[in-house]
Amino acid sequence: MSATTVRDGTEAWNLRLLAQHRLDGHGDTMHVNVHDGFAYVGHMGDDRVGTSVLDVSDPSRPRLVTQLHTPPGTHSHKVQVVGELLLVNHERNPGEMNDLSGTTWSAGLAVFDISRPWKPEQIGFLATPGKGVHRMTFWQSPYVVMSGSDHGFTDQFFIAADLSDPTQPVEVGRWWLPGMFSANGEAPGWPPGRAYKHHHSIIRGQRAYGGWWDAGLVILDISDLSQPRLVSRLDFGAEVSGATHTAMPVPGRDLLVVTDECVKAGPGRPDIEKHVRLVDISDETNPTVISQFPVPAGDYHDRPGRSGPHNLHEMRPGSFSSSRTIHVTYFNAGLRVFDIVDPSAPQEIAYFVPPAAPGCSALQFNDVTVTPDGLIYVTDRAGGGLYILEPEIELS
């Protein structure tokens, strides 16, 4: 392996910067989808900007066309696009929760008509009382699954909704881990200090592959969305795992790529080393870890900000799809690309680590999506906005 240090301090290997956009000073970017020449970008939202829309028909010159704002106390940092519908989450904003007295927020899922991408129009809303929706998967109309909330539960759980009429979304099913429905007399059975909650699920066929935070990996049978059924759960162990974020099925293979999110920031962070794992699901009732991705080499743990994995390119329909190439965001270690042709020994094949944005203390690459032409759209939640990268090698 060799690294190229670019003049501005960027550490890069086999990837180069095509363009960057800081979104008119609102660079606190998170989730990103690209659809029909437009990029839809979610924000942390502490300054009320929730979603940005950019024209990326020329990806070397992205152009901001509009920005949507959030209600008080709310952030909408996740986006999903199918056809002419944009979904954004509404969730209690932890950045505005220092004083809960008198604070309100919007909790649920907002539906926008984007037939005119430069002028999105909200047409529907699904309320999820409580904390709200954290993340959702909307890959094929009319169904969406999400981490949502309701009164009487300890935390967010799995919710499925029908958008056949996008002006009136309807919940059609829900599932939670035993112990979460406290209002029904259920008592948590997990260890003190651990958080069992639904973070994110990815759908393949009749299965939902979910990251359930400290509960690990959960596989659900969703052949009947009104009654999701547990297939299996894999607890990676508190001593080596926590904050399990995403479980992505690898196209054409009985494998999942599972990320744990680094949640502690700064040198000397009191967090265990978080990992990306390959899990064999050839027997879905007994998922088994077969390897871990290599930890990025460098002094990233000594740098400001979070240092470790977060999310990956989820290979949603219409995007870049591969049975061997995996793109992962690593906060201050930037974007890393891996080859899993040999699942027992994943190999790093590219990376891109720019310096922190001007006025910011750390790089924090958060989310990534890759278009069919191989261009990489990656976000920096710490202020850098949207980066568009292109590979210098063939990634298949």
Question: DSSP string covering 278-346, please?
Answer: EEE-SSTTS-EEEEEPPPPPSSGGGSSSBBS---B----TTS---SSEEEEE-BTT-EEEEE-SSTTS-
Q: What is the CA radius of gyration of the chain?
A: 20
CATH number at residue 363: 2.130.10.10
Q: Look up the domain containing 263 and give its range.
A: 10-391
Q: What is the dihedral of CA 216, 222, 225, 228, to 10 degrees?
A: -50
pLDDT digits (tens, 9 = 90+) for 182-220: 999 999 999 999 999 999 999 999 999 999 999 999 999
pLDDT, mean of residues 222-245:
98
Residue 4 inside a domain? The answer is: no
pLDDT digits (tens, 9 = 90+) for 3-54: 666 668 899 999 999 999 999 999 999 999 999 999 999 999 888 999 999 9
More confident: 31 or 2 = 31
pLDDT, mean of residues 307-317:
97
Residue 5 inside a domain? The answer is: no
Q: Assign residue 119 a region: left if phi > 0, alpha if psi is -120 to 50, beta otherwise? A: beta
Total structural domains in the chain? 1
Quick one: tokens of 246?
């995403």
Tell me the C-alpha distance between 236 and 234, whole Å. 6
Helix (H, G, I), strand (E, B) or coil at 207: strand
List of residues 6+ apart from 20 with CB closer than 8 A: 384, 385, 386, 387, 388
Residue 1 inside a domain? The answer is: no
**Model confidence at 311: pLDDT above 70:** yes
What confidence tier does 265 reach under pLDDT thresholds 50, 70, 90? confident
Please report, for residues 17, 79, 146, 275, 314, the alpha-carbon distance to residue 139 in angstroms, rounded to integers and kept in the order given.
28, 11, 12, 26, 11
Task: Report pLDDT for 46.
Answer: 82
Residue 349 inside a domain? The answer is: yes
Residue 232 inside a domain? The answer is: yes
